[in-house]
Structure 1
Amino acid sequence: MTRAEWFDSHYPEKGPIRWVAFSLEVIAASGLFFLMVLTCVDVGGRYLFSNAVDGAVEITQIGLAIIIFAEMPVVTWRGGHVLVDLLDSILGAAMVKVLSLFAALMISTSLYVVAIRIWELAERKLRRGEVTEFLELPVAYIIQYIAIMSWFTALGMITYGIYRIIKDKK
């Protein structure tokens, strides 16, 4: 399988969305790889040298936030969340599509509103100069990243997510 075939099979999106999805997944994969290496070094250091990596817990928490919120837009616009379809056969395809569009609008609105609140919390932490306990990294920047990725997810859902629902053959 060539790289182009692999890319086409793993990224069905069209246009620039597929490159955005690829980029976000590269960020998430790199973060996951970094956390794997950090954990191996931390555990090895702890058992072999009786010395753990300083701030490994804080770095892991920040890394998890980066991974989760980098992948959230892709999972959301692909419709990859857990879905319970108990009533789909009873309601019919047209009603399911209407409910899917309503859900997409609700998801987008909710993410937008939550992101506003998250951004406000980040601004407050920035004003107060709050930092992590051990490494003294500014907390506000990672919280701003979470808000931005939540807005990006809302935008992706309201645009490409709805396009995907409308174009779905089901």
Structure 2
Amino acid sequence: MQLSGWIDKHYPEPNIYRWIGLVLEGISAAVLLLLVLLTCFDVIGRYFFNNSIDGAVEITQLGLAVMVFAQMPVMTWRGGHVVVDLLDSVLGKRVIKVLGIFSVFIISTSFYFLAIRIYQLAERSLRRGEVTEYLGLPAGYIAEYIAFMSWLTAACMLTYGAYRVLTNKNDLSSQVGE
């Protein structure tokens, strides 16, 4: 299978969302691979050479933050979060659609205002010169990254999330081919 065919099969989103998803999942995959390698080398160093990698725990914490917040926009616009649909068979399709639009609005607004607060905390952290405990990395940059990814999540939810609700494209498993 050619690369374009693979991308079409696994990234059914239209236009820019396809490439955002591909890049964000690539970042997450690369960080996960680096975390696995870091953990393996840290364990090997600890047990065979009696010396672990300095700052491995802190790098793992930062890597997990990068990985989780890179996946947040993708999971949100694909509707990959937990959904309880106990009343869907009782309520009409129009009510379900209104509730879906309402949830899109609530989720995107929440992420937007959460990102504003996180960005304010990041700026304060950078002004004060706060650094991570062991490696001495500026703590504000990771908080800025989290704020940016939260804004991206809000934008993707508001645009493509609303598109999915309005066009009834809520089941991506049939589009992905699972």
TM-score w.r.t. structure 1 length?
A: 0.97
Segments of structure 2 that go 5 or more residues without pairing to the other structure are: 171-178
* 4+ residue runs over 2 A deviation: 1-5
Residue identity opposite 1:113 in structure 2:
F
Where does residue 53 of structure 2 map in the other structure?
Answer: 53
Count of residues in Structure 1 that have an aligned counterpart in Structure 2: 170
RMSD, aligned CA: 1.0
Where does residue 138 of structure 2 map in the other structure?
Answer: 138
Question: Deviations for 1:12-68, whole angstroms, at most 9, x for unmatched residues?
Answer: 001121011101100010010010000000011000101011000110010001001
Segments of structure 1 that go 5 or more residues without pairing to the other structure are: none
Where does residue 17 of structure 1 map in the other structure?
Answer: 17
Q: Among all aligned residue pairs of Structure 1 and Structure 2, give the percentage whose two residues are the same amino acid.
A: 59
Aligned-pair distance for 1:8?
Answer: 1.2
Aligned-pair distance for 1:4?
Answer: 2.4
TM-score w.r.t. structure 2 length?
A: 0.93
Counterparts of residues 3-152 of structure 1 (less than 5 Å): 3-152=3-152
Q: Would the alpha carbon gap of residues 97 and 86 (structure 1) be closer, same or farther in structure 2, given more than 3 Å must change?
A: same
Larger displacement relative to structure 2 (139-148 or 15-24): 15-24
Question: Deviations for 1:117-170, whole angstroms, at most 9, x for unmatched residues?
Answer: 101111111111110111100000000000000001000100111011111167
In 1, Cα distance between the equivalents of 2:128 and 2:51?
A: 33
Larger displacement relative to structure 2 (73-82 or 4-13): 4-13
In 1, Cα distance between the equivalents of 2:168 and 2:49?
A: 56
In 1, Cα distance between the equivalents of 2:161 and 2:138?
A: 34
